[in-house]
Copies of this chain bind each other. A is one copy, B any other.
């Protein structure tokens, strides 16, 4: 685990306050990522559909009645709203339709149950998925009996079906993350949780998805402010954490 490394680096990093935090954090955590799909954004046609999928981190309190594209209420107040708003603002000529269909508490098998309605029916050109923390967390607190093997199997099945149904789709896979020294994430999470992160990374490579290393990004962020500044419970990002995720997402698709 990164705890020792982080504490060591935090002491070493005291001199960095006042520097531009976002570019610094992202250049430290994202430059080594091999881009599978150069410039997803520039490959998109006018009117392309972009879909955010996941659990509560993506859901972010969105209303689920209308579920419209490009509508603030339908996005909630999280990283998806931040990233989508910027995409729409920066690319007015593209006339993108961007949807958020994350649902709180979802594990990967629950995405599969609603995949026709909440993915295929929208015919997305880009699909961004962030899923996995509940596959582990709900097991830890006795609400679920899935294993990391089931997570991998379910996730692989979902991606295989997605590639079959939408052969041209551009995939973005976010690394599940858990930040220690917060209200919900403690030493019980590790090293088991790292297995879920590894699965997401492995599947991103296998399915030629753009991978966003959120765990690495948060590990860098906690060198600049306490963990709770970025995420109170270690799972759900604060406003600062949401903005950091959105910047990483935008960097990944550009």
Contacts and interface: CB of A to CB of B under 8 A. Distances in A.
Given A70-B238, A72-B61, A81-B239, A22 B89 contact: yes
A113 interface: no
A86 B20 CA distance: 11
Interface stretch (A145-153, A186-194, A221-229): A221-229
Interface stretch (A116-124, A165-173, A242-250): A242-250
A198 B230 CA distance: 41
Interface size class of A (residues with CB under 8 A): 35 or more
A241 to B, nearest CB: 8
Contacts of A22: 89-90
A71 to B, nearest CB: 7
A65 to B, nearest CB: 14
A168 B246 CA distance: 34
Interface string A68-91: 001111011110011011101111
Contacts of A20: 90
Contacts of A77: 72-73, 75-77, 81
20 contacts: A18-B93, A21-B89, A21-B90, A21-B91, A61-B73, A72-B76, A72-B239, A72-B242, A75-B77, A77-B81, A85-B239, A85-B242, A88-B240, A89-B240, A89-B244, A89-B247, A90-B243, A93-B224, A93-B225, A95-B229
The 10 closest A-B pairs by CB, nearest first: A92-B225, A89-B243, A17-B93, A88-B240, A85-B243, A72-B77, A85-B239, A89-B240, A92-B224, A77-B77
